[in-house]
Amino acid sequence: MNRKKFFATWIIVIVSVFLIAGPVSAQAEKIGFIDMKEIIFNSDAGKAAAADFKRAFEKKKAAIQHKENDLKKQKEALDKQRSVLKEEAFKEKEMEYQRQFREYQRLVSDSNEELSARDQQLSGRLIPEIMKIVQSVGDKEGYTLILDVNNPIVVYHSKTNQNLTKRIVSELNKKKGKR
């Protein structure tokens, strides 16, 4: 079960418990919310991960653009030679161009897969660290429930509940600074 489905199921169970228990007990509960995307984008660790990803992306992009430029030049030369070359020689050059184009497509596909895996790896290291801090804040401050506002199950959150996003960013930055 992937992480999103696990958390979605967990939140459904928690919300169901509140609905079954009734409004009297839910009024006494302390509920907060976070914005996981904002934590990732604004924390020092998230910014470092984004910079690392951007470097990898730029490297892949440069390789792809180089290959793309080579293909354009090869195609232009092939088009110019079309009327000069014999049919058999032209077909050979065209087949070589097609082979190069397939290599280019594989390069793009492989690069996308590699970048996706890198993104998952970077967030895979960051999210558990964030979740530990969220749990620590929840335990220390007596929260019954802390929700991520980006979770599609959350359709409403009161502005009077505490948004802990900035607090989690601060704690994550402090933790990163200690390393």
Boundaries of every domain in the chain: 3-178
Distance of alpha carbon 83 from alpha carbon 105, whole angstroms? 28
Structure token digits, residue 77: 């030369």
Strand intervals (E) in 35-165 = 145-148, 162-163
Q: What are phi and psi of 33, to 5 degrees?
A: -140, 155
Instruction: Report the predicted TM-score, pTM, of the whole model to 2 decimal places.
Output: 0.61
Q: pLDDT 10s per residue in the chain (179 long)? A: 566 676 666 666 666 655 555 554 445 678 888 888 899 889 998 999 899 899 999 999 999 999 999 999 999 988 888 888 888 988 998 999 999 999 999 999 999 999 999 888 888 888 889 888 988 888 888 887 888 888 765 545 556 667 788 888 998 898 877 66
